[in-house]
Structure 1
């Protein structure tokens, strides 16, 4: 068989169901082989969108999302989405075509060093020099994508794709063994927790990646230790649990940070530095830290764990819960902080001012979704409001680009969510800036028959940059722009549209759109004067203020 046929058979052997991408001349053989495969090739309108769809597919399915492009500009267009998966440790396999090997030593049309370009945005990037190497390289790539986890890149030159080979896919042998730290180390962790007067858990994305939410809840319910999460850890503990404090992720000192301030032991579970730098919550390195993760910590002056437990997070938590034969008494201070945080969103439920305040929009979205439904957040000022206030009740139901924090993530993410979990309702919250960066994927969504609602926070500016500039310089520059008619734009792609003219219209319109199905675009004018109000509030000593004391 030719190399591309073997390549696709190896993808089938790895359980690939979908590939997202844009066709190109140097991948014609791969496309020809895919035409005879059970793998569904989903054509996107830009490689940027293909990579983000693969990214969110990996987050929700816990299997590598796969994206495909041609050489040169096609490959470079993939890099942003691939880098997003890399920093957020999402399993993803990026496949790119390349010119024939005979051209690689000289200047040639569209040829650049793509393997080198991907070197710093993947866990592994390689080119296939001979068709006989395909089975081993594919197996290694998928193993790294899952085990690291993160993004990998494979380049297949067009002449290698055409080359004849007698090789076959490698046999898949599943020998999974969940490791846990030594019993003596678990005993040390138990003793540290038992002796602590005010322990707190900081749960991160690793808990979701390893599907260890059940084990975390069992440990928390048994020991009575309160939990804060990162933005990407939202949902590992239900927001209505009395032991859930809130989420951390903004640079200003929020109320959740007051809980960490009074803690004498921080138990970091599945926490990655890229989620929230320890210098924000342990600037003087005074906190005692227990690190529970599948990989060794990135240590720095603010993160020097007293105890490091490396192994399966799920298994470590299970065994630790079995060992812990005590229940901590929760300080009334933690309960008061939780009440303050929850009351902030609740206080906007009847706010009918227009333009709509971001808190009100999020309150209404939450009321229109069930506990298992999904919110995809693009990147912008709205992301910070979602991270702070939007309640999540189940893991992997609030999807946020955090490490790279790339705009343009929301719409492709909604497509992925609809493919992986077609029975869930999906809302993508995007800014007007981020939406315009990947709006072409509306055609992809409509063509696929997707059902979701895109809620555009419309303020005709790059809102988060305006916010940061006002904090730093008390003014902003270069952030304003004009917008098209989003409703007509959506309709031109075959989507449905709604322009919210009054605040009390939003929730009924959103509920109807979610019930009716199809792709919807909601244009909602947002009042981002709330951004600076929040900054002014958090600039005070919230932990010692009347609210936080």
Structure 2
């Protein structure tokens, strides 16, 4: 190194590596152990967004990764800062969202002692990440960073972790950023393509099961083309919503609610299931694998996980769109004995929502809320669902026209996902309407990030379905025990709560007032808005009893 060349610290080199990876924003909360890193970020001009809780930072990075395909980055200090990241990091790991978490750490010479706030963070993050490494030597930082992004963004995406001790961050480092590697396009073996095309051509009643991998693989157009050209109905998982437009006649609906739903009728009729980007973490195969005569073709970027209920006869592994179009070169389907019966399943579910959309009861019913939300949001607008009873209804009934316009955590399925997730979505897409839909339980788990949104001028809308219960657990208790226990709570005045954080606050007082109120909320561009609506969840047990009667 010449005397004219600047000697950089490990923290500065790490930031140079982040810039080389294309990182434009980092979410997090700093601490004493990562101050060198913080000022390196400042000097480099990367946008740093201080959040009000590290879990919120991790969820923001999670959704950033889902929407861009590039790893979102979150940062925390050691000890409690790092442990607060865990839920959001685990969510990205199971849901397949690329994320890199960076934590501060005690100086390396203290790691063999019982030290203040010290935990073995690499051991803690290892089960919930694809790779977790401690930077013990300054010269390794560029390799550790490049590998963190490579692992986070490749294969099935997920979370990775870098742990940077305080003293190592301050040491001089000779490392330099490494080039991002262009992942080669991988194409399916022609023999598997031919075998899949033959099975699809010979099947009497095939059905496509499209999952999160089809969304990540940008395969929406290919899936829709296969459905239309070969006349094959499409079932989606919750994280596969929008892979085929909801107004396409071959779109049946969504699989994944806990109950035996109408959509399982399509699998009862199917002799072949074509899994496209199907991820077992979302919906166990035993929920839809209803008979032994069912055969399976798996079209995916990676081989299927091992499961006796999902044991493909043929696997077509490679770029999803290319695989589908190669299959379409030879597959032919002209005679279909049962397509109308399968399509009737989708028509039934669509008609059910139309009927619920005419329900004027107040507090509002779930179907009417979803029906009216769909009226307010455009085709490309984004709904981010929290986890709770409302997630079941949104997953089952909310119509989607495009992928990545209904974001649901359904692998890890963590409450508290929606508010920070909506923040990240609106940050990326300021031109779209972004709606966070929360239960009153999930909202209070990360409501503090509304202050972050006010400070950063990110005006999304949060809609709270209020019933003063942990609604999904209440529903399960009623199903299994006929009673409820430990799920009731009281709420603050959500309108006043929102206004206290300088948001716009609204409370819906009638069903007729809901759409005008939501429109007023979206008209606010100076600050986020919060709309609270009392909800009647009686439809939960009504659905349970109906499905029990139909499938007893």
Superposition TM-score, scaled by structure 2 size: 0.96
Distance 2:517 2:317 in 1: 48
Which residue does 1:134 correspond to in 2?
141
- 1:262 matched to 2:261: no
Which residue does 1:444 correspond to in 2?
452
Distance 1:468 1:170 in 2: 51
Distance 1:127 1:322 in 2: 49
Which residue does 1:532 correspond to in 2?
541
Secondary structure of 1:497 counterpart: strand
Q: 2:528 aligns with which of 519, 524, 545?
A: 519
Secondary structure of 2:550 counterpart: coil
Distance 1:286 1:406 in 2: 36
Alpha-carbon deviation of 1:285?
4.2
Secondary structure of 1:447 counterpart: helix
Return 284-293 or 47-56, whichever deviates more: 284-293
Which residue does 1:547 correspond to in 2?
none
Distance 2:446 2:519 in 1: 25
* RMSD over aligned Cα atoms: 1.2
Counterpart contact for 2:27–2:60, Cα < 8 Å: yes
- CA deviations 1:492-523 (Å, max 9, x no partner) are 00100110111110011112221333311111
Distance 1:26 1:284, change over 3 A: same
Distance 2:443 2:246 in 1: 28
- 1:493 matched to 2:501: yes
Counterpart contact for 1:224–1:328, Cα < 8 Å: no
Which residue does 2:435 correspond to in 1?
427
Mapping 1:110-509, distance limit 5 Å? 110-148=117-155, 149-174=157-182, 176-327=183-334, 329=336, 331-509=339-517
- 1:25 matched to 2:57: no
Distance 1:306 1:255 in 2: 26
Q: 1:67 aligns with which of 64, 74, 86?
A: 74
Q: Which runs of 4+ in 1 moved over 4 A?
A: none
Counterpart contact for 2:100–2:160, Cα < 8 Å: yes
Distance 2:25 2:82 in 1: 19
Alpha-carbon deviation of 1:322?
2.6
Distance 1:35 1:434 in 2: 33
Which residue does 2:4 correspond to in 1?
none
Gaps of 5+ in 1: 545-549
Distance 2:269 2:340 in 1: 12
Distance 1:328 1:413, change over 3 A: farther
Which residue does 2:3 correspond to in 1?
none
Distance 1:327 1:5, change over 3 A: farther
Alpha-carbon deviation of 1:173?
4.5
Size of the aligned set, in residue pairs, is: 542
Alpha-carbon deviation of 1:283?
4.7
Distance 1:142 1:92, change over 3 A: same
Distance 1:219 1:284 in 2: 25
- 1:45 matched to 2:52: yes
Secondary structure of 1:20 counterpart: strand
- CA deviations 1:163-192 (Å, max 9, x no partner) are 001221113343x42222211211110110
Superposition TM-score, scaled by structure 1 size: 0.97
Counterpart contact for 1:201–1:227, Cα < 8 Å: yes
Counterpart contact for 2:71–2:98, Cα < 8 Å: yes
- CA deviations 1:265-300 (Å, max 9, x no partner) are 000010010110001111554420111111121122
Alpha-carbon deviation of 1:210?
1.2
Distance 1:527 1:128 in 2: 52
Alpha-carbon deviation of 1:113?
0.7
Gaps of 5+ in 2: 1-7
Alpha-carbon deviation of 1:321?
2.2
Distance 1:167 1:411 in 2: 38
Counterpart contact for 2:201–2:332, Cα < 8 Å: no
Secondary structure of 1:36 counterpart: helix
Secondary structure of 1:120 counterpart: helix
- CA deviations 1:82-140 (Å, max 9, x no partner) are 00000011100000010000000010000011110001100111101111101111111
Alpha-carbon deviation of 1:326?
3.8
Counterpart contact for 2:132–2:160, Cα < 8 Å: yes
- CA deviations 1:30-74 (Å, max 9, x no partner) are 001001113111100000100000001111111101000000000
Secondary structure of 2:435 counterpart: strand
